[in-house]
Amino acid sequence: MSFLKNLWYVIRSGAPVSIVWSFILTRLRRSRIEENKPAMDALKRFAKEGTFTQDWFSWNVPYWEHHARAKQTGEDIREILEVGSFEGLSSCYILQAFPHARLTCIDTWEGSDEHAGTAGIRQSESNFDANTAKFAHRLIKHKEASRSFFGRTPAVATYNLIYIDGSHRCEDVLFDGLCAYDLLKVGGTLIFDDYLWDFYPDVARNPANAVNHFVKMMSPRMEVRMAYHQVILVKVA
Ligand SMILES: C[S@@+](CC[C@H](N)C(=O)[O-])C[C@H]1O[C@@H](n2cnc3c(N)ncnc32)[C@H](O)[C@@H]1O
């Protein structure tokens, strides 16, 4: 039932055929994807030992692992960019899953529209620092808005993987995606979080509208590989 409800949201948001098709295929592959649940359980155990007030990430791990296996990525992943790190749960997963990579984290650590009243926002930066301390030699932290980071970063293809999970306003997600395209190497992966997130009553203000426009604009240079609550794309040109 929730699959059909989500599919209806995807269609209503104006998704291109490539996303609708990938959304159905990703669902059909669910049992294969779920074989990666042990990696999710490992991250949950790691989270219990750290200073985390929220887990907004671990359930994505089986999908990331499935994608990484299909792409046979590993040692070739050297530079990763994350927009929106919060307490560092996704950052810690990335740093563990890609042990040869350096991770650049961008966050204001001021929260977003939806975080008013959310536990953990005030301490999110100190929690991030504590949680990621043991990876400090592979971590670059920028405390600023993504617009400011992208605005002063030369458009040179540098990263093998870029994860967009900062501001969820449609215009910010589209801006982050377009800037990320320039910084992503050919063959690299771009992941948008919160594709199905419908916080704003006007569908057009939510991340799905941005991701849909991005995919329509950037096709065939970006290929959709998986679509569920996140959309996973690969830069092919
Ligand atoms: C959903 S949380 C990230 C969660 C994290 N990726 C995880 O899975 O644990 C979103 C983060 O984006 C940050 N943020 C919001 N707007 C931003 C912007 N314009 N630029 C950079 N970071 C932003 C917030 O401070 C917040 O920490």
Residues of the chain scoring pLDDT < 50 = none
Q: Is the CB of 144 under 6 A from ligand 1?
A: no
Q: Is the CB of 84 under 6 A from ligand 1?
A: yes
pTM exceeds 0.85, yes or no? yes
Cα–Cα distance measured from residue 54 to residue 57, given in angstroms and rounded to the nearest whole number: 9
Selection from 163, 98, 91, 95 nearest residue 127 by Cα:
91
Q: Is the CB of 57 under 6 A from ligand 1?
A: yes
107 CA closest ligand 1 atom index:
22
Mutate to test the pocket of ligand 1, among 54, 61, 85 (most ligand atoms within 8 A of CB): 85
pLDDT on residue 75: 73
Summarize pLDDT for 96-126 with one digit per residue, the tens.
Answer: 999 999 999 999 999 988 877 777 788 999 9
Nearest CA, atom 20, ligand 1: 145
Element counts in the chain: helices (H) and strands (E): 10, 7
Query: Pairing between strand 231-235 and 222-227?
Result: antiparallel
Please check whether residue 218 is in contact with residue 174, taking contact to mean a CB–CB distance below 8 angstroms.
no
pLDDT on residue 72: 76
Exposure b/e, 153-170, CB count within 10 A at least 16 = b: beeeebbbbbbbbbbbbb
Please check whether residue 135 is in contact with residue 92, taking contact to mean a CB–CB distance below 8 angstroms.
yes
Please check whether residue 52 is in contact with residue 30, taking contact to mean a CB–CB distance below 8 angstroms.
no
The token pair that represents 206 in the structure block: 């939510």
Per-domain boundaries in the chain: 2-110+118-235
Q: How far is the CA of 192 from the centre of ligand 1 (A)?
A: 12
Q: Is the CB of 135 under 6 A from ligand 1?
A: no
pLDDT on residue 1: 67
Looking at 3.40.50.150, 2.60.40.10, 1.10.150.20, 3.40.190.10, the CATH number of the domain 2-110+118-235 comes to: 3.40.50.150
pLDDT on residue 117: 73
Q: Is the CB of 165 under 6 A from ligand 1?
A: yes
Cα–Cα distance measured from residue 89 to residue 236, given in angstroms and rounded to the nearest whole number: 29
Q: How far is the CA of 86 from the centre of ligand 1 (A)?
A: 5
Q: How far is the CA of 87 from the centre of ligand 1 (A)?
A: 9
